[in-house]
Amino acid sequence: MSYDQLTPTPDADSKPFWDACRNHQLMFQKCAECGDVRWPPSILCPQCHCRDAEWIESVGKGTVYSYAIYHQAFHPAFAAKLPYVVAIVQLDEGPMILTNIIGCPHESLACEMPVQVAWDDVSEECSLPKFLPIL
């Protein structure tokens, strides 16, 4: 199985997010009532249960909240990428996103390290938001 067969399958809630990724835009829903910026996309605000939201574009910057260096492939499609970094990045707008840190020596990884989005165009249909350190 190749890497691009493992790309996300958008649903009704997440399709605007993945469509924007193809244009290298990181978009999140912002609650019209309380202003909470959320991830993953959902029909309701998890804070106040309001159904009204707008999509806003993130500046694509944040910090590493947590990370792990994977030395074992939990799916054969990722075996050639070992070792790689799985991280939770907290965007400046608030949401936390599960992603990969790229372009960073593993010994330099640190929580609270500033990062910016870097697009991995894995297929015609899919670009994945990954993150690079801000030097």
Residues that bind Zn ion (CB under 5 A): 31, 33-34, 36, 45, 47-48, 50
17 membership: H or E segment, kind and range = helix 15-22
In Å, how far are 33, 43, 65, 111 from 54, measured between CA atoms?
10, 11, 26, 30
- Of 35 and 103, nearer to Zn ion (C-beta) is 35
- Of 44 and 86, nearer to Zn ion (C-beta) is 44
Note the Cα 79 to chain centre separation in Å: 21
Output the smallest distance, CB 63 to Zn ion, in A.
Answer: 23
Output the smallest distance, CB 34 to Zn ion, in A.
Answer: 3
Output the smallest distance, CB 1 to Zn ion, in A.
Answer: 39
Q: In 10 A of CB 30, how many CB atoms?
A: 19
- Of 40 and 102, nearer to Zn ion (C-beta) is 40
